[in-house]
Structure 1
């Protein structure tokens, strides 16, 4: 049986079929646009970050619309001067605002993250100083008086009944202190659920950071700083206060060489120590604890601060803590039972009389220690007025005949508190350089101001208006690109027939 040949199709039918296919392809291209180029996605990301920065800046009331626009223009000019025609990003605008003195680097970082809360009561937060066991410390300025200060904040996550009692106690203690060698308290307040203490801002750094950066101090400089700290402690002792956490990190030094003792809020009333919320616990840092602080925390007196100041003096002239290595428990045991290496082992130029003063401050028996902080200052002040002439008498003090330190792993300054499983409870509440400009050397990301709202979301309705002004122009249709592609892939004669058929089809529809 013969097969019948397929019915012939006319050229017009073929043209109409191809035209229908072409129309279908065009419609599908409208529904599924081509993928965005990488450069377009990057530009949109920059726009979103800039919009977030813009919204937070206006919401903070630190920057007006006019100032922000001016900063954008400056950033654009700088890009063009550098030979770039790319879009302006939030980082470039922030740099313009910082260099103009409108905001600080810390404020710019917070605003770019969408955080607009930069105040605590009447104080405008300008920088982050450090983090301690009891609170965060920020640099701030009073919005009316314009005075720079340090603001210590009790974090919300640590706002327990006991921590609030300790914090309020610290506020009351510091409010009654007024001495040039103590960090003064100016104000205290509450912003929502956030409690804060305002103290004077001390430019400079603390002794611990200074020694780590520059090495041990020469005798005259160490004697000047320690004798000043001793005068401040004597003032506190005369008021019946014991600091309990004297250490290099709590002695701030200005560029002019003025020393101030910080974190006096850890102090305890020597006549009413049982009323302290931390009574019965070891409060301080293991490398500088006195033997009596470890053995009987309820029986400490001014002599305990003198021992800690002796350990501090040892550190600043040698660059070593008295008992390096080991954990907190080991350090506590060695404070009670052992003697450290002779300081001249590490600093041979130290005068023996100066070394004797350190030894008398670090006597294990409080009764044999230097009688008062004032006596410490009297013994050290003469060394602050002499040059560092090398003195090399023989090492003869039995106070320094120490056995080698145990072979235990550990850092020099131990800030890890002990719990009941490993030894006495060492409770710490200190910020190294709590009002120091250089105390923010931590690599941690500076935290936001407590009590603020969550970071502004660029997808929120309140940000919508800002985002709408920064949307990119609508992209052109992809029809032309598809037509060109088909022209290259389809034979010319067939394409001409398809186009003619498509036009005829459109004409017949009308």
Structure 2
């Protein structure tokens, strides 16, 4: 979907990009495929020629000649999602079809690069330019959220930077309607990019528009600093945010610090919505750091993210009237690191199960730790009580 003209090669560098088909393939009797210019988990994107209109386009094709039903369903879900969206900061879907039983999407060809490549090549992005870029992404997110869609994979590689400085949000392959009950994910798999997951995505909780706001916060922070907030393996990156908040340098302008703290708040309902993020980024892009800070504080006082109707309300908690240093929050919210809680849960469960199997009536059943998450406490407590009764 994107070609980097400055480098004379595809804008991304994974998968089978750069490969030229030995025998050019015509899809739908119309689209002549050329080289691969992008690759994802299940599909390749080709530079192609629309034979009917004589223009270059990007064609996304499922890689597997006999696609898995789950992949096919997810692919077609992307087509339907894009078909219902029309915004200047979204990649435009032009056509869709099936050829030799393989579905394909035809999208506008974007010439330029993506935010990830731009940062790798040029280093940190200046705050004012990053505010311009971020505002356009936030505008796209505000639009899709209003349409009832959650992107779920906001990352630098999906932020496309056109040569005319227009920014586009791409790849709705795992997007989901807020009230959609259909799940196009294989059991036991995780979709998305762990480095940019929200805490609720890591925990397998409901993903909402606030999740996209969190991911965008990490994207903005990475572009401003040139470093990922959560590095390491995918698992390490995903779990790290359950132990600590991202480190936001105090050397950034005050408006940026306040905004990024709000966007990456661990509590989804305390994050600003995409529209508020857009307003604050526009203020920063205009060089008005004080106005951006005032907007940030006003948003915090006004309340939480404007959530979709399907999102359950969170427990009431007092709203701060001033920005509180985020470094203090992990210690206040967690007495023990997440991994320690997890180990405690496993050990308690293991001992309880062992007592059940061995029938040791004289043994003492360990108590369930106080800081076990609420959704796990009740089942463990029931098991604990049952074993105690059996041993009496």
Range of TM-score over shorter length: 0.5 to 0.7
What does residue 415 of structure 1 align with?
none
Structure 1 residue corresponding to 2:263, chosen from 355, 358, 361: 361
Question: How far apart are residue 116 of structure 1 and its match?
Answer: 2.6
Question: How far apart are residue 192 of structure 1 and its match?
Answer: 1.4
Cα deviation code 1:91-143 (max 9, x no counterpart)? xxxxxxxxxxxxxxx9x9847xxx23332220122332111102000111211
Within 2, Cα distance between the matches of 1:109 and 1:212? 23
Question: How far apart are residue 276 of structure 1 and its match?
Answer: 2.3
Larger relative contact order (Cα-Cα within 8 Å, sequence gap ≥ 6):
1
- Is the helix fraction higher in 1 or 2? 1
Within 2, Cα distance between the matches of 1:317 and 1:282? 28
Within 2, Cα distance between the matches of 1:356 and 1:327? 29
Q: Do the aligned partners of 2:245 and 2:264 also contact (CA within 8 Å) in 1?
A: no
Pick the structure with greater CA Rg: 1
1:329–1:143 Cα change, 3 Å:
same
Q: How many residues align?
A: 280
1:139–1:400 Cα change, 3 Å:
farther
Q: Do the aligned partners of 1:229 and 1:260 also contact (CA within 8 Å) in 2?
A: yes
Within 1, Cα distance between the matches of 2:101 and 2:279? 46
Q: Is the partner of 1:150 in helix, strand or coil?
A: strand
What does residue 246 of structure 2 align with?
340
Question: How far apart are residue 147 of structure 1 and its match?
Answer: 2.4
Cα deviation code 1:379-413 (max 9, x no counterpart)? 0111212299xxxxxxx95224699xxxxxxxxxx
TM-score scaled by length of structure 2: 0.67
Within 1, Cα distance between the matches of 2:270 and 2:46? 41
Question: How far apart are residue 200 of structure 1 and its match?
Answer: 1.1
1:234–1:169 Cα change, 3 Å:
same
1:134–1:398 Cα change, 3 Å:
same
Question: How far apart are residue 185 of structure 1 and its match?
Answer: 0.6
CA RMSD after TM alignment? 2.5
1:56-95 matches, cutoff 5 A: none
Within 2, Cα distance between the matches of 1:186 and 1:400? 47
Q: Do the aligned partners of 2:66 and 2:102 also contact (CA within 8 Å) in 1?
A: no
What does residue 352 of structure 1 align with?
254
Within 2, Cα distance between the matches of 1:203 and 1:156? 27
What does residue 398 of structure 1 align with?
325
Q: Do the aligned partners of 1:174 and 1:265 also contact (CA within 8 Å) in 2?
A: no
Within 2, Cα distance between the matches of 1:279 and 1:174? 22
Structure 2 stretches of 5 or more lacking a match? 1-15, 290-322, 331-392
TM-score scaled by length of structure 1: 0.52
What does residue 243 of structure 1 align with?
151
What does residue 117 of structure 1 align with?
24
Question: How far apart are residue 157 of structure 1 and its match?
Answer: 4.7
Q: Do the aligned partners of 1:341 and 1:402 also contact (CA within 8 Å) in 2?
A: no
Structure 1 stretches of 5 or more lacking a match? 1-105, 389-395, 404-510
Within 1, Cα distance between the matches of 2:96 and 2:147? 21
Structure 2 residue corresponding to 1:327, chosen from 233, 241, 254: 233
Cα deviation code 1:263-304 (max 9, x no counterpart)? 1232101111x212228754211110001111134x111000
Matched, 1:129 2:19: no
Within 1, Cα distance between the matches of 2:62 and 2:204? 29
Q: Is the partner of 1:264 in helix, strand or coil?
A: coil
1:158–1:260 Cα change, 3 Å:
farther
Question: How far apart are residue 337 of structure 1 and its match?
Answer: 2.3
1:488-507 matches, cutoff 5 A: none
Within 2, Cα distance between the matches of 1:136 and 1:400? 42
1:109–1:356 Cα change, 3 Å:
closer
